[in-house]
C-alpha cells in the first residue's frame, strides 16, 4: 500500500515537474489561449473519469457554500495556471520554480494569519530566511520576483479554499473547471472569430497537444489523490519539493536561463529555509508520536 502510494506520488510530482517541457510545445498559442484550452479540456477529461467511475451522486450534496468556495478556487487557480504558462513560455521557468519553493513558507504564514497557529522558533527562522531570499532576489532581478510571489500566494490561497470546501480532487476539479468553462469557451470563440486563434490552424499535432492540456492536468491530479490516501503527510510533504526541483533543473540546464551568483544566493537561502522547515516538522512529528508516560 505504501509502496504503491509512493509510486503514485512520485509520478504525480514528476509530471508536474516536467510541465516546462510541455507548454512551449503549444506555441504560437498565447498564454491566455492555452489557459482557456486547459480549462475546457480539463473539464472534458475529469468528466470522462467521473463517468467511468459512475460517480455523480456527490452533485446532490453540493450547496451554495461549495459553489462559492470552489468558484473562488477556480478563479485563483486560473490565475496560477495562466501565470505559470506565461512564465515558462517567456523564458522565466526558474522564477516559476521559485514560486513553488516559496509555497510551503506561504502556507506557514497563512497558518499564523488565518488560523492563529503559533510558530515554533525554527519555523520563524525558516520564514526569516525566506523573506531574506525574496529581498536578495529583488535586488538581483531589479524588481520583486512577481511571478514567483504570484504563483506562491495563488497556490497557497487555492489550497486554503480547497481545505474549507473539503471535496475530493476529481469532483472539486470538475466544479472548478465547470465554473470557468464559459469564459474560457467565450475567449476561444472570440479569438477564432477575430482570426487570431492558434487552435486548428497549425496542424493536427498542435491541436492534439492543446487538447492534451486537459489530460496532463487531470492525470497527475488523479495520481496525487491516489497517493495522498496511501501515504502519511510527512512523506507527501517531502515529495512536494520534487516538482520545483525538476522545474529548476529544466530552466537552468535545458532552457539555459541566466543564473548569476546573486540569484544562486537567493535560491540557496530559500533552500536553507525549506531544509529548516522540513527538519523542524519532522522533529515535531516525532515528538508528537512518542506517547506520554505517567
Q: What is the pLDDT of residues 166-202, one digit of tens each?
A: 888 788 889 999 999 999 999 999 999 999 999 989 9
Q: How far apart are CA 293 and CA 256, in angstroms?
A: 56
**Mean pLDDT to the nearest integer, 260-266:** 95
Per-residue confidence band for 94, with pLDDT thresholds at 50, 70 and 90? very high
187 contacts: CB under 8 Å, gap ≥ 6: 32, 33, 36
Reading the block at residue 189, the C-alpha cell is: 470563440
Q: Are 33 and 198 in contact (CB under 8 A)?
A: yes
Q: Are 79 and 181 in contact (CB under 8 A)?
A: no
Q: How far apart are CA 41 and CA 33, in angstroms?
A: 12
Q: Are 174 and 43 in contact (CB under 8 A)?
A: yes
Reading the block at residue 167, the C-alpha cell is: 471535496
pLDDT higher than threshold 90 for residue 114 = no
pLDDT higher than threshold 90 for residue 145 = yes
Reading the block at residue 288, the C-alpha cell is: 508528537
Q: How far apart are CA 91 and CA 263, in angstroms?
A: 16
Reading the block at residue 42, the C-alpha cell is: 480539463
Mean pLDDT of the chain: 90
Q: How far apart are CA 48 and CA 134, in angstroms?
A: 42
Q: How far apart are CA 49 and CA 120, in angstroms?
A: 42
Q: How far apart are CA 7 and CA 235, in angstroms?
A: 12
Give the pLDDT confidence score for residue 32 in this predicted structure.
96
Instruction: Using only the alpha carbons of the chain, give its radius of gyration.
Output: 20
Q: What percent of the chain has pLDDT over 70?
A: 97
Q: What percent of the chain has pLDDT over 90?
A: 63
More confident residue, 62 or 36: 36
Reading the block at residue 121, the C-alpha cell is: 522558533
Please list the alpha-helical segments (H only) found in the chain. Answer: 2-17, 19-22, 31-53, 64-89, 93-115, 121-141, 146-165, 169-194, 203-228, 233-239, 242-249, 261-289
**Mean pLDDT to the nearest integer, 51-77:** 88
Cα–Cα distance list, 36 to 24, 50, 130, 191, 199 (Å):
16, 21, 33, 11, 11
Amino acid at each position: 500500500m505504501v509502496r504503491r502510494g509512493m509510486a503514485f506520488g512520485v509520478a504525480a510530482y514528476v509530471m508536474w515537474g516536467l510541465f516546462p517541457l510541455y507548454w512551449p510545445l503549444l506555441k504560437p498559442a498565447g498564454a491566455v489561449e492555452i489557459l482557456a484550452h486547459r480549462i475546457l479540456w480539463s473539464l472534458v477529461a475529469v468528466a470522462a473519469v467521473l463517468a467511468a467511475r459512475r460517480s455523480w451522486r456527490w452533485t446532490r450534496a453540493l450547496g451554495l457554500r461549495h459553489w462559492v468556495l470552489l468558484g473562488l478556487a477556480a478563479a485563483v487557480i486560473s490565475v496560477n495556471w495562466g501565470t505559470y504558462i506565461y512564465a515558462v513560455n517567456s523564458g522565466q521557468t526558474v522564477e516559476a520554480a521559485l514560486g513553488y519553493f516559496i509555497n510551503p513558507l506561504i502556507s506557514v504564514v497563512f497558518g499564523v494569519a488565518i488560523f492563529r497557529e503559533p510558530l515554533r522558533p525554527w519555523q520563524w527562522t525558516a520564514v526569516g530566511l525566506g523573506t531574506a531570499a525574496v529581498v536578495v532576489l529583488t535586488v538581483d532581478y531589479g524588481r520583486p520576483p512577481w511571478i514567483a510571489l504570484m504563483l506562491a500566494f495563488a497556490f497557497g490561497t487555492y489550497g486554503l479554499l480547497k481545505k474549507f470546501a473539503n471535496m475530493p480532487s476529481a469532483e472539486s476539479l470538475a466544479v472548478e473547471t465547470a465554473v470557468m468553462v464559459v469564459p474560457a469557451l467565450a475567449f476561444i470563440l472570440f479569438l477564432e472569430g477575430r482570426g487570431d486563434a492558434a487552435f486548428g490552424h497549425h496542424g493536427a499535432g498542435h491541436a492534439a497537444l492543446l487538447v492534451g492540456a486537459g489530460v496532463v492536468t487531470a492525470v497527475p491530479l488523479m495520481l496525487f489523490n491516489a497517493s495522498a490516501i496511501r501515504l502519511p503527510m510527512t512523506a507527501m510533504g517531502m515529495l512536494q519539493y520534487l516538482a520545483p526541483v525538476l522545474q529548476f533543473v529544466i530552466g537552468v540546464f535545458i532552457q539555459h536561463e541566466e543564473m548569476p551568483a546573486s540569484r544562486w544566493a537567493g535560491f540557496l537561502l530559500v533552500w536553507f529555509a525549506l531544509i529548516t522547515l522540513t527538519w523542524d516538522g519532522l522533529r515535531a512529528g516525532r515528538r508528537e508520536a512518542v506517547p506520554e508516560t505517567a
